[in-house]
Amino acid sequence: MDVSVPPTNYPKSLSSIIKCHRRRAAINNCHPVVSHPPLSHSNHHHRSLRVRSSAAVAPPLPPPLVVPMTTPKPSPTIRRLDVASPVPADIDIANAVSPLPIADIAAELGLRPEHFDLYGKYKAKVLLSVLDELKGQQDGYYVVVGGITPTPLGEGKSTTTVGLCQALGAFLDKKVVTCLRQPSQGPTFGIKGGAAGGGYSQVIPMDEFNLHLTGDIHAITAANNLLAAAIDTRIFHEASQSDKALFNRLCPPNKEGKRRFADVMLRRLIKLGISKTDPNELTPDEVRRFARLDIDPESITWRRVMDVNDRFLRKITIGQGPDEKGMVRETGFDIAVASEIMAVLALTTSLADMRERLGRMVIGNSKAGEPITADDLGVGGALTVLMKDAIHPTLMQTLEGTPVLVHAGPFANIAHGNSSIVADKIALKLVGKGGYVVTEAGFGSDIGTEKFMDIKCRYSGLMPQCAIIVATIRALKMHGGGPDVVAGKPLDHAYVSENVALVEAGCVNLAKHIANTKSYGVNVVVAINKFASDTEAEMDVVRNASLAAGAFDAVVCTHHAHGGKGAVDLGLAVQRACESQADPLKFLYPLESGIKEKIESIAKFYGASGVEYSEQAEKQIEMYTKQGFSNLPICMAKTQYSFSHVPSMKGAPSGFVLPIRDVRASIGAGFIYPLVGTMSTMPGLPTRPCFYEIDVDTATGKVMGLS
């Protein structure tokens, strides 16, 4: 039931009383008394999580109204959480809840058994075929969650996303789907320990969410490295064989002595302008052009990947074995989620579209300067086979029983950093008119939300009605001149005691994010993620600064400590923002602008006064422009810790010159990829990685130490 609209069968006077009562209940962060009561604990579908004592007592409510009415039947998958104070460890909360069978979550969402494939009891792949059945369904409201420039500890963006959806689904009776990215095992074992949300706003089972899930990242790793192997193998074989020998091995005769082109080879023939389909009809020149890619090793941009942080693989030398005949070259590894194949997965719209995108990925150039693609190497179809199951989003659930679609990967600093288009589109159709889809963009709004708007929304054709910016008092104090925040070290006293002046000074960062996000034409709601040490005076500063900067609303949230109940006010603000959205989406730059012009538009968005290009970057931009790729959007690889390229420049720096070290092209995914400053695409491990805390209880088989 919508807490803002009374049922129409009430008398007018009684309706106004109930509406007032509900508003007071929402202000107290409690579920309205006139809403449906929780089912008894004996009902196995409607469970209550009890973890020790209750949280702090909420302000008293007025006496409950006694109204003869029929309450709506509650969703059978919604749980009520009895929270504890202080909040237990994330893994303890998650392990205290027995997830519902995912088939129950799917059924409540309107999915029939033929719409999904089960991956165990608590995960399922939602098949893209559901989009065909729902194509006539009106979309729900679309909400994107970004944040201010974070500390290394993170500001609870995923937690806020989950908490908001629990509020919308479990307390405000809205149909809602959370769309999240699959965590990388790099930060899970490195600095973060997990990314399923936190406290009483989590995705469960959180150990499965944080680790292998349904194997999508492993599929990406396999596909990426198959292509890498194909590149070096092709260079090796071309170096040691004549044109005729190479052609004979690429198109060998069968037992009857007949030759044929593999289907993928026909794509290369079309690219070369050769209309023949019989290998025996090719002239010697056509044989040479077809068989010899003549890859320039110095031009290769495709690197191997793995899903762990390993700084010692950033630069390696391959081909040192005795059988490789001196075919040595320098290359390196990226983190798996930075692979272009992850970006393809995030931006694709169908299996057929993914096949085309994978095939046209450019790995480097020929010595004549022509781009070489995965299909030129003959591997595009095989990559699609490895990815054919990964294209389907994974259905999971929150602690309070609301549905979650998990798809694509993180790292908006070095990658696209958004959940997939197909997950969002499926979710928007499933919730329908009046429902809500809340999707998360990585890191601060300067990188994650910018890429969401300028890349993802361009390709999806979707427009958000509301953009959320998650802020914390801790991060604002840092931007106001507070001491460094270092993962693994205790916070300075300034962060756990009241300091209104630091917060006021740091709000310049929040104001810049609000102004940037508003420039897209969407309503901006600030979610103030409250920590236990935050004071009312500090939060008042943030609320006032947010509204002064043009935010639609600014709301204090306690979803980490209270689950969905702590984000009810945020849910109501988001509802109002979505219902009042009227402006069209405005992109930051037109696609027809040149590569440099688009880079410079984004640099200005950051606050830079100009851009400086290295010799390598200039060379790459010139080459990609000649090759016809200048009309693609831009995906900047930049530090997440500052608007600038220097992590230590906090607040809202301006007047700096943004250095572009290199420029790569992700042609299959569909964007140009500049590297800003010293940004690395393979993270390293800290002195004390999170893996010290991660283990398994051998008696129960449960994972310990994830967060």
| CATH code for position 102 | 3.40.50.300
Q: Is residue 266 domain-shared with residue 185, that is, in the same domain?
A: no
**pLDDT higher than threshold 50 for residue 43:** no
In a domain, 8, yes or no: no
Q: Is residue 477 domain-shared with residue 403, that is, in the same domain?
A: yes
In a domain, 469, yes or no: yes
What local confidence, expressed as pLDDT, does residue 73 receive? Answer: 56
Q: Is residue 331 domain-shared with residue 398, that is, in the same domain?
A: no
Q: Is residue 198 domain-shared with residue 294, that is, in the same domain?
A: no
523-529 vs 197-198, strand pairing mode: unpaired
pLDDT in tens, 445-495: 999 999 999 999 999 999 999 999 999 999 999 999 999 998 878 999 999
**What share of the chain in percent tops pLDDT 90?**
78
**pLDDT higher than threshold 80 for residue 410:** no
Cα–Cα distance, 406 to 409 (Å, whole number): 9
What local confidence, expressed as pLDDT, does residue 74 receive? Answer: 59
**pLDDT higher than threshold 80 for residue 57:** no
Of 579, 604, 627, which closes a domain?
579
Cβ atoms of 389 and 225 closer than 8 Å: no
| Domains identified in the chain, total number | 3
- Domain holding 323, by residue range, is 218-383
Phi, psi of 315 (to 5 degrees): -140, 120
| CATH code for position 310 | 3.30.1510.10
Q: Is residue 104 domain-shared with residue 246, that is, in the same domain?
A: no
| CATH code for position 664 | 3.10.410.10
Q: Is residue 130 domain-shared with residue 223, that is, in the same domain?
A: no
Cα–Cα distance, 203 to 403 (Å, whole number): 9
Q: Is residue 492 domain-shared with residue 504, that is, in the same domain?
A: yes
What local confidence, expressed as pLDDT, does residue 679 receive? Answer: 79
What local confidence, expressed as pLDDT, does residue 123 receive? Answer: 98
Q: Which residues contact 391 (CB under 8 A, 6 or more apart)?
A: 128, 345, 348, 351, 354, 422
**pLDDT higher than threshold 80 for residue 364:** yes
Looking at every residue in the chain, the average pLDDT score rounds to: 88
**pLDDT higher than threshold 50 for residue 283:** yes
Of 549, 579, 609, which closes a domain?
579
What value, to the nearest 5°, has the Cα angle with vertex 443 and ends 149 and 208?
Answer: 140
**pLDDT higher than threshold 60 for residue 434:** yes
What local confidence, expressed as pLDDT, does residue 18 receive? Answer: 32
pLDDT in tens, 299-312: 999 999 999 999 99
H-type alpha helices, 454-592: 457-460, 473-479, 500-518, 536-548, 559-562, 568-580
Q: Is residue 435 domain-shared with residue 515, that is, in the same domain?
A: yes
Q: Is residue 467 domain-shared with residue 426, that is, in the same domain?
A: yes
In a domain, 367, yes or no: yes
Q: pLDDT category, 570, cuts 50, 70, 90?
A: very high
**pLDDT higher than threshold 50 for residue 48:** no
Q: Is residue 484 domain-shared with residue 561, that is, in the same domain?
A: yes
Cβ atoms of 342 and 670 closer than 8 Å: no
The CA–CA distances, whole Å, from 519 to 360, 515, 576, 622, 630 equal: 33, 6, 19, 30, 24
Cβ atoms of 233 and 198 closer than 8 Å: no
In a domain, 703, yes or no: no
In a domain, 695, yes or no: no
Of 579, 614, 647, which closes a domain?
579
In a domain, 113, yes or no: yes
Helix (H, G, I), strand (E, B) or coil at 586: coil
Q: pLDDT category, 415, cuts 50, 70, 90?
A: confident
pLDDT in tens, 527-566: 999 999 999 999 999 999 999 999 999 999 999 999 999 9
What local confidence, expressed as pLDDT, does residue 574 receive? Answer: 98
695-696 vs 703-704, strand pairing mode: antiparallel
- Rank 54-63, 89-98, 139-148, 149-158 by mean pLDDT and report only the highest: 139-148
In a domain, 130, yes or no: yes
Q: Is residue 408 domain-shared with residue 445, that is, in the same domain?
A: yes
Q: Is residue 196 domain-shared with residue 235, that is, in the same domain?
A: no
Residue whose C-alpha is closest to residue 558's, from 527, 535, 525, 524: 527
In a domain, 23, yes or no: no
Q: pLDDT category, 60, cuts 50, 70, 90?
A: very low
